[in-house]
């Protein structure tokens, strides 16, 4: 849970200026930042996620589907990163091989 708190703090800091600008533009309104963050290696803390959906008044019956979609997007993002890294790494290895360099 400590990793989640760190990510939550980072997100709050990242969006602090936006919230301040909104508060200055509409002082009669109340603003609350609700961050949906992934933990280490894309993990999602279900209780935290569901609590945030509850704050947004999302119907209980829809929360599981929303969680599933959120996790799906995280997995897709991780897949894209891994494929990009693999493609770059393999390209560099092949290029070294073409130049006659020793492949390890």
Domain ranges of the chain: 2-98
Note the pTM of the prediction, 2 decimals.
Answer: 0.66
What's the N-to-C CA distance of the chain in angstroms?
39
Polymer length in residues for the chain: 104
pLDDT in tens, 10-45: 999 999 999 999 999 999 999 999 998 876 666 788
The number of beta carbons lying within 10 Å of the beta carbon of residue 33 is 13
Percent of the chain with pLDDT strictly greater than 90: 48
Q: Please answer whether residues 45 and 24 qualify as being in contact, where contact means their C-beta atoms are separated by less than 8 angstroms.
A: no
Q: Which of 69, 50, 52, 48 has its CA nearest to residue 60?
A: 50
């Amino acid at each position: 849970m400590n990793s989640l708190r760190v990510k939550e703090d980072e997100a709050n800091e990242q969006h602090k200026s936006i919230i301040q600008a909104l508060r200055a533009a509409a002082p009669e309104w109340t603003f609350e930042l609700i961050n949906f963050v992934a933990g280490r290696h894309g993990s999602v803390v279900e209780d935290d996620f569901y609590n945030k959906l509850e704050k947004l008044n999302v119907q209980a019956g829809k929360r599981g589907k929303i969680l599933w979609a959120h996790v799906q997007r995280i997995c897709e993002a991780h897949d894209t990163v891994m494929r990009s890294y693999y493609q770059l790494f393999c390209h560099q290895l092949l290029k070294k091989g073409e130049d006659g360099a020793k492949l390890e």
